Amino acid sequence: MPESFHVRILTPMREVADIDAVYLNATATDGKLGVMARHAPLLTRLDIGTMVITEPGGVRRHFATVGGVLRVTERGVFVLVEAAEEADEIDIERARNALERARQRLRERRSDPSIDVSRAELALARAINRLRVAGASTPRA
Amino acid sequence: MPENLRTLRRKREIVGEIQQITRAMKLVSAAKLKRSLSWREATQAYFEEIDRALGLVAGQVEGEIVHPLVTRRPVRRIGLLLCGGDKGLCGAFNASILAKARQFVRGSDVRVQTYTVGTRTAEMARRARLNVVREFPAISERQRGSDVQDIVRYMMHVFESGTVDRVEVCYARFLSRITNEPVIDRVLPAPLPEARVADRAVIFEPDVHELVQQLVPQHVTARIFQALLSSAASEHSARLMAMTAATENAEEMISDLTRDINRARQAEITSELLDVVSGGDALQRQG
């Protein structure tokens, strides 16, 4: 069995995970990133995306993460993100509503100059990501 | 029954009812305090690790970190975020942070605009004639942090847009279950953690500049979150203490009233006995 390392996923709201892992796959801003035990010290920026953590027993856990950083240290791996949710705790209904709201705002941007387009785009990306991680289909616009 | 005894009994009943309420509020505050402390604890690691990461990046940057949220400029106007609660009945909690804020405003040579958190705080700040330009509701765990994010976004907006040149946060820092201290901390331009150099070479991806862009807002968010969580814990502990004292006072009043009731009842019995005895005497004398 491969050597394991410690992973903590932390957000300003709560500690999302505190687990042992043998492999971690994250979405960094410049591509997918894989981490195994004894990885060199690293600090990288994360994108909105999926994080898959393989536990020593072989169980793979999926998390939806929103902007932040990942740091590899000798004390373990720290995932410091604005928000994170494990696949089974994602509220699909809520994510679908967020998706619809973001699409609505983007549709109205021409007629309503007060709409913050970049914020709406970000909300859209987050909602799509959460739905993807939760394994739910994304309703067509 | 004489009027006096009846009034005393009614009074004792009312005090008992009030005590039931204060006791319930005490229990609720204890539960809320426990929750807000565990929330605070759960987020502590996040704040520490963000500071560590930013310190590491700062040690890597040549010169100072450059980011709109850390840029100092001449101060013409200050924004003051006043963290309080939605309700009273928590001793001097609201009054002490308000006093701190007023002292700050009086001592400032530039204009200060105030943003309040909590409806009770907003009311008090308006009455104290602070220049309140925005009112936020008190934070709640049920909002999953979206209420805190709204506050954070607004603070960054007023600073970046140049509406104010500095943002301070005034809150009751939680020290222990029985003490808190009203303080004012600068949030923007963000004070940075000390630069650190790692013992082993660290890989920075994609580059240090990108990491600064990501970490500085996270750092600012963390500072505001910390202030709000500390304030919430202080508020619940203040209310817990106030309600504990109120419950004890009610207990004391009930025992005083019980004594008065017994005394009044005894006096009534004595006077009735006197009536009977003196009535008997009179009859005997007649016979």
Kindly list the structural domains of chain A, giving each domain's residue range(s) and its CATH number in brackets, ordered by start: 5-87 (2.60.15.10), 91-134 (1.20.5)
Domain edge (last residue) among B207, B223, B241: B241
The count of CB pairs under 8 A between chains A and B is 86
**Contact check, Cβ <8 Å, B57/A43:** yes
Q: Are residues B12 and B138 in the same domain?
A: no
Task: CATH number of the domain at B58, please.
Answer: 3.40.1380.10
Contact B154, B214 (CB under 8 A): no
Contacts of B45 in chain A (CB under 8 A): 8, 10, 15
Give the pLDDT confidence of A10-39 residue by residue, as tens digits: 998 888 999 999 999 998 888 889 999 888
Distances B139 to A78, B167, B168 between C-alpha atoms, Å = 27, 19, 18
Give the pLDDT confidence of B219-261 residue by residue, as tens digits: 999 999 989 999 988 888 888 888 888 899 999 999 999 999 9
**Contact check, Cβ <8 Å, A80/B206:** no
List the 79-108 stretch of A: residues with Cβ below 8 A of B: 80, 82-83
CA distance B214 to chain A (A): 6
Q: Are strands A76-86 and B77-83 parallel, antiparallel or unpaired?
A: unpaired
- Which residue is associated with the tokens 């309140």? B132
Q: Are residues B158 and B246 in the same domain?
A: no
Say if residue B142's pLDDT is above 80. Answer: no
pTM, entire model? 0.83
Q: Are residues B207 and B251 in the same domain?
A: no
Q: Which class for A131: exposed (0-12), middle (13-18), buried (19 or more C-beta within 10 A)?
A: buried
Q: Are residues B254 and B155 in the same domain?
A: no
Contacts of A14 in chain B (CB under 8 A): 39, 42-43
Provide the domain limits for residue B205.
30-241
Q: Supply the pLDDT for residue A139.
A: 58
Q: Are residues B233 and B247 in the same domain?
A: no
The number of folded domains in chain B is: 2
Q: Which has more confidence, A136 or B147? A: B147
**What is residue A65's DSSP assignment?**
E
pLDDT-derived band at B53, boundaries 50, 70, 90? very high
B43 vs A12, A30, A69: nearest CB: A12
Q: Are residues B121 and B202 in the same domain?
A: yes
